[in-house]
Structure 1
Amino acid sequence: MSDANPYTAANLRRQYQLAAADKQAGEKFHQLMAAYTQQDAVVLAYKAAAEAIRARDASMFNKLTYVQNASKQFDQAVKLDADNAEIRFLRLSVESNLPAFLGLSQHVDEDRQFLIKTLLSHPKSGLDAESFGLVRSFLVERGHVTDAQAQQLARIAG
């Protein structure tokens, strides 16, 4: 890999997508993120996402602990950079997949509205073309937007 810094947004995006699809990649991603000790808000959001993926692959006994850790880390990342669409997307992608009874999905509506507004402002959204496409696809394919919003988003070039 040409990146000397494994914590670039582009590398983290790739690692996260691999980890979301594969248990071994998830373990590798968690190890990478567990070693991160700085305070970059976007990297902290990926660290939270790695913790959530760890919960997916953990025993029932450990799942809740990992999800609670992820929730705390997301809170920290959002506190550091509340207007960052990538952080909000990661939190939405995790929280929208959690069982409601855990009570850890309280930001889904807020993050969904934030992301729709952000996408509708594109290309002034602050997202690069890759991120814009990823977030738009997620919101549309997972039913987080109305049909009218999906049509609006489809008309915006990434």
Structure 2
Amino acid sequence: MRNIMMILLLVTGGIFAQEKELSEARSQYSRAVESEAAAKRLLKISEANAFTNPVMMGYKAAGHMMMAKHVGNPFKKMSHFNKGKEILGSAIAADKDNLELRFLRFAVQAEAPGFLGYRDNLEEDKRLLLNGVGKIKDAVLQKMIINYLKTSKGLTSAEKEKLD
């Protein structure tokens, strides 16, 4: 009985820690566009669980892509962007139906300069997000996605109106 209690404590403690890290990753993600420090913090937070959690892997990818905005050297920009693109592709391959991962990719593809040629999944991800955002049970995640979609260059005015 004592062993079972210890296992339950370890499991619930681990789940709580992962939820806290995910919450922190989401918070830093929202700030990383404007803040290099937030992008670095996002990378640090996501590193710990990126190997076992596809969503954290997605935030690691987003951190690299955000760092591309903050570094001056063009080679470092491309290196960060391409590394993030590769990691995000692997994360989505591991959990292709995850709307949070699709949101991360949609946001990057909608905002990335056209010359990068990274827009292959824009319409597919947009369709999945528009059809699924109302079904997301995590209220914080749902709000984060809806708020982004309402301001996104990747949606038409009519699509944005349907989000209200």
TM-score normalised to the size of structure 2?
0.79
The correspondence for 1:96, drawn from 102, 106, 110, is 110
Counterpart in the other structure of 2:74: 60
The whole-number CA distance in structure 1 between the counterparts of 2:74 and 2:38 is 20
The correspondence for 1:30, drawn from 37, 43, 47, is 43
SS in 2 for 1:101: helix
The whole-number CA distance in structure 1 between the counterparts of 2:111 and 2:142 is 21
Q: What is the Cα deviation at residue 99 of structure 1?
A: 1.3
Aligned-pair identity (%): 26
The whole-number CA distance in structure 1 between the counterparts of 2:43 and 2:89 is 18
The whole-number CA distance in structure 2 between the counterparts of 1:77 and 1:136 is 22
Q: What is the Cα deviation at residue 98 of structure 1?
A: 1.2
Counterpart in the other structure of 2:8: none
The whole-number CA distance in structure 2 between the counterparts of 1:89 and 1:127 is 15
The whole-number CA distance in structure 2 between the counterparts of 1:25 and 1:145 is 26
Q: What is the Cα deviation at residue 45 of structure 1?
A: 0.4
Cα-Cα RMSD: 2.1
| Alpha-carbon distance change, 81 to 90 in structure 1, aligned in 2, over 3 angstroms | same
Matched, 1:42 2:60: no
| Alpha-carbon distance change, 131 to 22 in structure 1, aligned in 2, over 3 angstroms | same
The correspondence for 1:114, drawn from 123, 128, 131, is 128
| Alpha-carbon distance change, 143 to 63 in structure 1, aligned in 2, over 3 angstroms | closer
For residues 120-131 of structure 1, what are the structure 2 equivalents within 5 Å? 122=134, 125-131=135-141
SS in 1 for 2:111: coil
| Alpha-carbon distance change, 78 to 5 in structure 1, aligned in 2, over 3 angstroms | closer
Q: Which has the higher helix share?
A: 2
The whole-number CA distance in structure 2 between the counterparts of 1:140 and 1:52 is 22
| Alpha-carbon distance change, 117 to 64 in structure 1, aligned in 2, over 3 angstroms | same
Task: In structure 1, list runs of 5 or more residues that go unmatched.
Answer: none
Maintained 8 Å contact 2:103/2:145: yes
Q: What is the Cα deviation at residue 76 of structure 1?
A: 0.7
Counterpart in the other structure of 1:73: 87
Matched, 1:10 2:23: yes
| Alpha-carbon distance change, 147 to 129 in structure 1, aligned in 2, over 3 angstroms | same
Q: What is the Cα deviation at residue 140 of structure 1?
A: 1.8
The whole-number CA distance in structure 2 between the counterparts of 1:95 and 1:67 is 11
- Highest relative contact order (Cα 8 Å, sep 6+), 1 or 2? 1
State the AA in 2 paired with 1:47.
K
